[in-house]
Amino acid sequence: MSPSPLPRILCSSVVRSVHQGESHGGVYLVDLEAGSSEQVLDWTDASINWEGRGGDRGLRGIAFHEGSIYLAASDEVFVFDRAFNRLGSFRNEYLHMCHEIFVEGNRLYLSSTGFDAVLEYDLAKEAFTRGWSLRYASAWKLRRTFNLKVPPTLRTFDPNQPGGPMPGDTSHVNHVWVQGDAVLASGTKLSGLWQVNGPRLQRHATIPFGTHNTRPFRDGVLFNHTRTDRIAYASPAGDVLASVALPTYPKYELEHADLPEDLARATFGRGLTTLADGRVVGGSSPATISLYDIDAGECLTSVNITMDVRNAVHGLEIWPFD
């Protein structure tokens, strides 16, 4: 029996260190089978008014629900149909620097990095319903230097009322996942995938600092370890069971490779999903979508969108409408 055709992937990208008037990113449909890509949204599209909406931060997390596409910007979530006609958008005063988003049932969960928070949005009622803040009092550099694997302080709040968390980024919550009744949150300044069950916070898994897209996988967790340019599968205790290196390109092929790495760099890994057979799809810079066999440590195929190192994949999901 021949293998099933590879799926198309919808991905967003953020372009760093750009000038006014240049594109800050877009959304692409990537065909892994054909090895091609098509841009379906551009942040500079004159038909879309991005003003006042985190306009310099590009599009980020992606989710689907009942035929609609949800795309997160910094301070607002945009809703499109499958032909990318804009249907609407919504905001919240506690939504800032939004990264990844996740749909479970009729609820949309959003990582609000600028408030150390996760927000819950009822898609049927079109209303925000709950919020959780995971915040530290101590400095991030101290935790990283001494590898302090301490839990943040959990606080629940009503995202429709004043008195919630103040703006701040002590834990850099950048990813959210829901498993059963538990909300799972992770980020680059967190040493764990933290599980919220009602008012309680517990460690679901130990992870290294500097991760993106941490999610349950098999008996452990899967994540982009962006600091080491690898995708890793680890046990709940944090032992790496398998990993694979992200694709690299010769420097002479890259555009804007002379920029400092704190502004833009090649092989920055972000964006992650899995196929039904256990193979992994991940994003990296310059904007590239790759299919991996993590057990064999092999990159099976890649589709490069651009060689501009400033253009980094952010969110990606399997396109559900084929």
Is 304 within the bounds of a domain? yes
Is 222 within the bounds of a domain? yes
142's tokens: 């101290």
Q: What average pLDDT does this structure show over 171-185?
A: 95
Mean pLDDT over all residues of the chain? 90
Residue type, 212: H
Is 132 within the bounds of a domain? yes
Select from 57, 48, 108, 54 the least CA-distant residue to 80: 48
The confidence score (pLDDT) of residue 24 equals: 62
The terminus-to-terminus CA distance of the chain in angstroms comes to 21
Helix (H, G, I), strand (E, B) or coil at 135: strand
Q: What percent of the chain has pLDDT over 90?
A: 76
The confidence score (pLDDT) of residue 125 equals: 97
Q: What average pLDDT does this structure show over 287-312?
A: 96
How many residues are listed for the chain in this entry? 322
58 conformational bin, left if phi > 0, alpha if psi -120 to 50, beta if neither: left
Select from 261, 270, 272 the least CA-distant residue to 312: 270
Is 39 within the bounds of a domain? yes
Q: What average pLDDT does this structure show over 152-180?
A: 96
Q: What percent of the chain has pLDDT over 70?
A: 88
For the beta sheet containing 36-42, the strands, ordered from the edge strand earlier in sequence to the opposite edge, are 36-42, 25-31, 8-15, 311-318
68 has which bridge partners?
Answer: 65
User: Could you read off the pLDDT of 8-60 as tens digits, one per residue?
Assistant: 999 999 876 554 545 567 899 999 999 999 999 987 654 555 444 444 457 89
The confidence score (pLDDT) of residue 163 equals: 97
Q: Is the pLDDT of residue 63 over 90?
A: yes
User: Could you read off the pLDDT of 186-244 as tens digits, one per residue?
Assistant: 999 999 999 998 888 999 999 999 999 999 999 999 999 998 999 999 999 999 999 99
Q: Is the pLDDT of residue 1 over 80?
A: no
For position 299, which CATH number holds? 2.120.10.80
Is 46 within the bounds of a domain? yes
Q: Which residues of 13-52 are buried (b: 16+ CB within 10 A; e: fewer)?
A: bbbbebeeeebbbbbbbbbbeeeebeeebbbeeeeeebee
Global pTM value: 0.93
Q: What average pLDDT does this structure show over 181-188?
A: 95
The confidence score (pLDDT) of residue 16 equals: 67
d(CA 12, CA 285): 12
298's tokens: 């092999």
Q: What average pLDDT does this structure show over 302-317?
A: 94
User: Could you read off the pLDDT of 93-107 as tens digits, one per residue?
Assistant: 999 999 999 999 999
Write the DSSP string, 43-74: TT-TTS--TTS-TTS----EEEETTEEEEE-S
109's tokens: 């969960």
d(CA 255, CA 259): 10
Q: What average pLDDT does this structure show over 135-153?
A: 78
Residue 310, domain extent = 8-318
d(CA 264, CA 313): 12
Domain count, the chain: 1
Q: What average pLDDT does this structure show over 67-83?
A: 95
Q: How far is CA 55 from CA 14, 51, 59, in A?
A: 11, 6, 9
The confidence score (pLDDT) of residue 54 equals: 41
User: Could you read off the pLDDT of 271-282 as tens digits, one per residue?
Assistant: 999 999 999 999
- CB atoms inside a 10 Å sphere around CB 199: 9
Is 26 within the bounds of a domain? yes
d(CA 153, CA 168): 14
Q: What average pLDDT does this structure show over 56-84?
A: 92
d(CA 163, CA 10): 37
The confidence score (pLDDT) of residue 50 equals: 46
